[in-house]
């Protein structure tokens, strides 16, 4: 079992019992991007965590299996209820993720098709840089999609807005999506998503996603 495996690598975590599905998610994939063996980035000021959780729910409903690494301990019970994630979606809260991120991804990738890492900025830059090739190898070998949320930062050298993690993370990421705008009204969610990089299809530019939670 996954819990036993994670315990063997001495990673303490707690599983959350998710609320049963209460609503139908109509998730329109903008591109056939959630491909096996791919690395995907979601960035933006707001809405990235919401979209990541909706993607996890969509994959779970398609019987693909999903896991969420809540790296900063911000996933609340209210969010769990709001998104109606099923009890099959495993949420882990590592008490210390820094030295164990490769082992965690390796073990999860044997059991699910989608891993959501929220957010990657919790991990030290040097750790990402040192382990990115190992992570990519695990993702491709086990045919799992690793979706990570990222934060925007200002590059002190040229004062341009960029994302955390450095150049190597950008190079190895197959699809980079930036949420420019996120709105909610009643039960409708709207995302304006800009495709910054796409090695998985020919889709480019800005797309609008509208869905009912």
3-state secondary structure of 96: coil
2-22+34-174: CATH, from 3.40.640.10, 3.30.365.10, 1.20.1630.10, 3.40.50.300 = 3.40.50.300
Mean pLDDT of 102-112: 89
3-state secondary structure of 145: strand
φ, ψ (nearest 5 deg) of residue 152:
-85, 140
Mean pLDDT of 156-185: 82
Helices (runs of H) and strands (runs of E) counted in the chain: 6, 10
Q: What is the pLDDT of residues 146-170, one digit of tens each?
A: 999 988 766 666 556 667 777 889 8
**The pLDDT value given to residue 172:** 94
First to last CA, the chain: 31
183 has pLDDT over 70: yes
**What is the distance between the alpha carbons of residues 144 and 50, in angstroms, rounded to a whole number?**
21
Mean pLDDT of 76-85: 74
Q: What angle do CA 21, 27, 29 make, to 5 degrees?
A: 145
**The pLDDT value given to residue 15:** 30
**What is the distance between the alpha carbons of residues 92 and 71, in angstroms, rounded to a whole number?**
8
């Amino acid at each position: 079992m996954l819990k036993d495996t994670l315990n063997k690598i001495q990673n303490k975590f707690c599983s959350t019992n998710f609320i049963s599905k209460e609503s139908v998610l109509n998730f329109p994939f903008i591109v056939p991007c959630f491909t096996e063996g791919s690395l995907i980035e979601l960035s933006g000021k707001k809405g990235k965590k919401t979209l990541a959780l909706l993607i996890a729910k969509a994959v779970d409903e398609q019987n693909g299996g999903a896991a969420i690494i809540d790296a900063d301990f911000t996933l609340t019970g209210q969010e769990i209820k709001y998104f109606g994630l099923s009890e099959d979606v495993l949420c882990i809260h590592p008490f210390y993720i820094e030295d164990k991120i490769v082992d965690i991804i390796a073990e999860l990738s044997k059991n699910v098709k989608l891993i959501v890492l929220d957010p990657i900025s919790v991990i030290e830059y040097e750790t990402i840089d040192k382990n990115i090739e190992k992570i990519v190898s695990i993702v491709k070998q086990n045919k799992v999609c690793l979706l990570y949320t990222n934060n925007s930062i200002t590059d002190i050298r040229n004062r341009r807005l960029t994302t955390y993690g450095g150049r190597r993370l950008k190079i190895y990421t197959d699809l980079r999506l930036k949420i420019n705008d996120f709105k909610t009204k009643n039960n409708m969610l709207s995302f304006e998503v800009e495709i910054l990089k796409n090695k998985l299809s020919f889709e480019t530019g800005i797309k609008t996603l509208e869905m009912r939670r």
